[in-house]
Amino acid sequence: MALIVQKYGGTSVGSVERIQAVAQRVYKTVQAGNSLVVVVSAMGKTTDGLVKLATDISKTPCRREMDMLLSTGEQVTIALLSMALQELGQPAISLTGAQVGIVTEAAHTRARILHIETERMERHLQEGKVLVVAGFQGVSSADELEITTLGRGGSDTSAVALAAALGADFCEIYTDVPGILTTDPRLVPEAQLMAEITCDEMLELASLGAKVLHPRAVEIARNYGVPLVVRSSWTDAPGTWVTSVKPQGRSLVNLELARPVDDVQFDTNQAKIALLRVPDKPGVAARLFGEISHQDVDVDLIIQSIHEGNSNDIAFTVMTPILKKAEAVAAAIAPVLRSQSNPEPEEAEVMIQQEIAKVSISGAGMIGRPGIAAKMFATLAEAGINIQMISTSEVKVSCVVNAKDCDRAVAALRQTFEISTSPSLPQQNPAPSTPPVRGVALDMNQARLAIRQVSDRPGTAGKIFGLLAEHNVSVDMIIQSQRCHIIDGVPTRDIAFTVAKMDAEAAQQVLQSHATEYGWGEVVLDQAIAKVSIVGAGMVGQPGVAAKMFAALAENQINIQMIATSEIKISCVVNAEQGVKALQVIHTAFELAGTEKFVVPA
C-alpha cells in the first residue's frame, strides 16, 4: 500500500463531469489499496476571472485582498470533489490550506511554505478518508493567521510540498497534456512526449517558460527527492517522470526557505575570447560558432551583449588547452565579419584573456529570490574582486573573475553561503543516453533593461542587483558588454538583463533614480522581446549545440539580441514578434518533433 499525493489542475476539474471523472480515478486508486491526498486547483479559468474582477475595481489591488479573493477558487473545488467522492461511497474530507496547516511566510500573493503540520492529515488518513486539499494557498504563521497564496500556478507546489512533508511514496500531477513534452504543444503540435527528465533539466525548462510545472514544485521535489510524475487526467498513459536523487535527512522546517545555495564551484582551466564590434544582423553567431564547432571545440559560457549602433560583442569561454584552436577560428573569421559590416568603418576585434577563473554558486533555492545573486556580487565586491562576465540560470550564477582572485572568491562565497567543502545535495549525473537537447521553451513575459556606462569597478553589479532585490525584482540573463568606454578617466561598460514584464517599469524607475548617485547613464527598457531557450543535461561537452541553435535562427532571418548560457541551457533574446517562429524552427532543428500531433483539450 502506498501513500500518494495527486494534484489536478484547472482544466482537469473544469466542470461537474470532469470533477466526477477525477472522483472515479481517486476512488479506483483507493480501491487498489492506496491512501490518498488530493490537491486541486480552482475550476477552469476561475482564477483568471477573479483577477479580472479585482482589476476592474482597482489597478493596483491590495495584495492581502487579492489573496482573500483568489483563495476562494480552490475552496469551491475541494467541496465539490469531496461530495463527488462521497456520492461514490468513498469517505472524504475537504480542507483549506489553513485547516491542513500549510504555514507560509506572510508575503501575500507569493508566499513560500515554511512548514506543514501533518497530525490532522495523518489522523484522517488513519480513518480511511481521502483528503481533498485546496492547492495554491496557506496561512501565515504570524498571530493574525492571514490567508496567503503561493503565486500563480502554485497548486503544483502545494502538492509536492505535501508529498515531502507526509513522506509520500510519490506525487502525481494530473493535467491537460499527456506529460512533459519537448515544447508547448499549443505552439508546436508535433511536440513529443518524454518518458523522463531530470529535476535539474525540468527546473530550467519550468523557469524558462514551460508552464506545465511550477518551478518551485520542481525545486521541492529535487531538495527532498520526491518522486514526481506528470500525467494526463484523461487517460491512463504513464506520463513523464521527473527524476532526482534522494538526499539524506533534509529538515522539513523552513521547507521552501532552507539554504538557497547548495554548492560553490570553480574552474580555473578556462580562457575567454571576445569578438568586439561584430555586425548586428542575423547569422553572425551562427557563423562564428559553426566554424568553431567544425574544429570540434566545445565552448562553455557564451554571452552576447546588447548592441550599440549596429554592432554587437560576443564573448565565450573555452577550456585552456583548446584556446589556440578557438583563437585561430575567431581571428580568421573577424576580418570577414568586418567586411560585411559596412558602411561602418569600425573593425571587429578579437580579444583573448587567459588568466581567468569561473566561480559559481548553485542551488534550486535561489529561484525567485533576487537577493541571492546580489549577495554573491556583494561578497565578491567586499573581497575587492572585479567581475568580468556574469552568466545566470535559475539555479546557478557564474562569474568570470581574474584567475589570481579565484581562491579568495571561493573562500568568501563559501563563508557567505555557509557551504562546507562537500556539496549538500548529491549530484545527478546524466545517463549516457541523455539527448543534448531535451526541450525548448518560450518566455514571452520578459522585458529587457540596459544600463549604459556603468563603471567597471568591483561592487557595481552588487549595487545594481542589490537595489533590484530590495524591490523584490528577480533578474534573469545578466550580461555585461565586453567593450569598455572611458568616461572621465573611468572605464565603463553597459549591463543588460531581463526581468519579468510586470516588474520592468518599476525596475527602470528604481535604477534611473539612482543614476546620479551611482554614476551610471541612461536606463533603457525594451518590452517587445521574447526569450527562447534550449535545455538538456546532454549538451555538456557536446560541441555544436549552440551553433545549431544559432543557425536555425539565422536561416529564418531571426536576429539574436542577447545570448546567455549555462551548462545545461542556452537562451537567446529575439524580437517579440519572432518568438513563436523562433521556438518552432529550433524545435525542428533539433529533430524533436514526433509523428503524433497533440490536441490540447479546451
**Binding site residues, ligand ADP, CB under 6 A:** 9-12, 41, 153, 175-177, 180-181, 183-184, 186, 210-212, 439, 600
Q: Give the nearer residue to ligand ASP in terms of CB position, either 74 or 456.
A: 74
Distance, CA of 400 to CA of 54 (rounded, Å): 45
Q: H/E element holding 372?
A: helix 371-382
Q: Give the nearer residue to Mg ion in terms of CB position, either 45 or 259.
A: 45
Residue 246 exposure: Cα atoms within 13 Å on the Cβ side: 9
Report residue 471 as a C-alpha cell. 524591490
Q: How many CB atoms lie within 10 A of CB 112?
A: 21
Query: 505 touches which of Mg ion, ligand ADP, ligand ASP, none (CB within 5 to 8 A by kind)?
Result: none
152 near ligand ASP, rule: CB under 6 A: yes
Report residue 356 as a C-alpha cell. 581567468
Residue 266 C-beta: closest distance to Mg ion, Å? 37
Residue 49 C-beta: closest distance to ligand ASP, Å? 10
Residue 88 C-beta: closest distance to ligand ADP, Å? 23
**Helix 545-555 × helix 579-589 angle, to 10°:** 130
Distance, CA of 133 to CA of 81 (rounded, Å): 10
Closest C-alpha among 149, 139, 163 to residue 218: 163
148 near ligand ASP, rule: CB under 6 A: no
- Residue range at the interface with ligand ASP (CB under 6 A); choices 24-32, 111-119, 148-156, 338-346: 148-156
Q: Give the nearer residue to ligand ASP in terms of CB position, either 47 or 293.
A: 47
Residue 422's Cβ-count burial label (10 Å; 0-12, 13-18, 19+) is: exposed
Distance, CA of 232 to CA of 175 (rounded, Å): 5
Distance, CA of 36 to CA of 44 (rounded, Å): 23
Query: 71 touches which of Mg ion, ligand ADP, ligand ASP, none (CB within 5 to 8 A by kind)?
Result: none
Residues near ligand ASP (CB under 6 A), total: 12
Residues sharing a CB contact under 8 Å with residue 600, sequence separation 6 or more, in sequence order: 176, 177, 185, 186
DSSP 127: T
Residue 155 C-beta: closest distance to ligand ASP, Å? 3
Q: H/E element holding 197?
A: strand 196-198
Q: Give the nearer residue to ligand ADP in terms of CB position, either 123 or 186.
A: 186
406 near ligand ASP, rule: CB under 6 A: no
42 near ligand ASP, rule: CB under 6 A: yes
- Tell me the CA distances in angstroms from 174 to 169, 183, 212, 321, 530, one per residue in order: 16, 18, 10, 48, 29
Length of the chain: 602
Distance, CA of 314 to CA of 304 (rounded, Å): 4
Residues sharing a CB contact under 8 Å with residue 56, sequence separation 6 or more, in sequence order: none
Query: 135 touches which of Mg ion, ligand ASP, ligand ADP, none (CB within 5 to 8 A by kind)?
Result: ligand ASP
Draw the binding track, 63-102, toward ligand ASP (x: CB under 6 A; -: no contact).
----------x-----------------------------
Draw the binding track, 7-36, toward ligand ASP (x: CB under 6 A; -: no contact).
--xx--------------------------
Main-chain dihedrals φ then ψ at residue 489, nearest 5 degrees: 80, 0
44 near ligand ASP, rule: CB under 6 A: no
136 near ligand ASP, rule: CB under 6 A: yes
Q: Give the nearer residue to ligand ASP in terms of CB position, either 9 or 178.
A: 9
Q: How many CB atoms lie within 10 A of CB 263?
A: 19
Distance, CA of 207 to CA of 192 (rounded, Å): 20
Nearest residue (beta carbon) to Mg ion: 153
Nearest residue (beta carbon) to ligand ADP: 9
Q: Give the nearer residue to ligand ADP in terms of CB position, either 193 or 560.
A: 193
Residue 380 C-beta: closest distance to Mg ion, Å? 37
104 near ligand ASP, rule: CB under 6 A: no
- Residue range at the interface with ligand ASP (CB under 6 A); choices 89-97, 151-159, 240-248, 291-299: 151-159
Residue 9 C-beta: closest distance to ligand ASP, Å? 6
47 near ligand ASP, rule: CB under 6 A: yes
Residue 171 C-beta: closest distance to ligand ADP, Å? 13
Report residue 364 as a C-alpha cell. 534550486
155 near ligand ASP, rule: CB under 6 A: yes
Main-chain dihedrals φ then ψ at residue 364, nearest 5 degrees: -65, -25
Binding ligand ASP by CB under 6 A: which of 44, 97, 138, 154?
Answer: 154
Site of interaction with Mg ion (CB under 5 A) = 9, 153
Distance, CA of 575 to CA of 558 (rounded, Å): 8
Site residues for ligand ASP per CB under 6 A: 9-10, 41-42, 47, 73, 135-136, 152-155
